[in-house]
Structure 1
């Protein structure tokens, strides 16, 4: 199971390095265009595949954890790898929904400021649109809380 964690770490590191490189040197993107999109796609595919593998392999360890908890009822039970992965998996909905809400709030906030500058009476409507975009993050938080109750 540790090889899956290493594979995910390498995929994430490759994505981060590629993103930073392309951000710092955008002219480099023109020269490497034929291969960088498939490479990023491959890294994303490896990451998603490794994540699914961790979920499938980590479920067995998380389901086996109650026996360990029953053995150590007098003190804190030892945390298994599967339980740690289950807790990380419960936090993923909050992380992704927060990123989505941030992506949504950026353009909506800019458009709201422009609309309020031209017509101040549109403040209420723009706040509703911003609230709807922020609701995405709240939905992810609710899902994470529900998943934590199942662990």
Structure 2
């Protein structure tokens, strides 16, 4: 399970702020991405491909037996895969209703990501968040 491989939000923040500069923070983001297992080719379908990302990004959302969301994802770019991991840390284990109502922007603002990502990566991060929220909304309609 991915949730067991990634730190929780508090640990992510602590580790992130222990980095002394942005080069170390980028390396930490890439390290987080390395914890995500590769997405099986059968899950790399066009309906799971995120529109609005310059890199190829796939996000798969499933509901576990407790009603919580489990997220799986991958990218062809290491830094983007790390950003996916950061988004997953924020959303992993929440219900679809919680995902729709959670405000992720303050979390990323606390990390000061926007100032240090290229505009295309910032847009890609937004696209990932929008896609996860859209998938959660679809799940809510289904259940």
TM-score for both structures, normalised by structure 1: 0.30
TM-score for both structures, normalised by structure 2: 0.31
Q: Which has the larger radius of gyration?
A: 1
The structure with the greater share of residues assigned to strand is 2
Structure with the bigger RCO (C-alpha within 8 Å, sep 6+) is 2
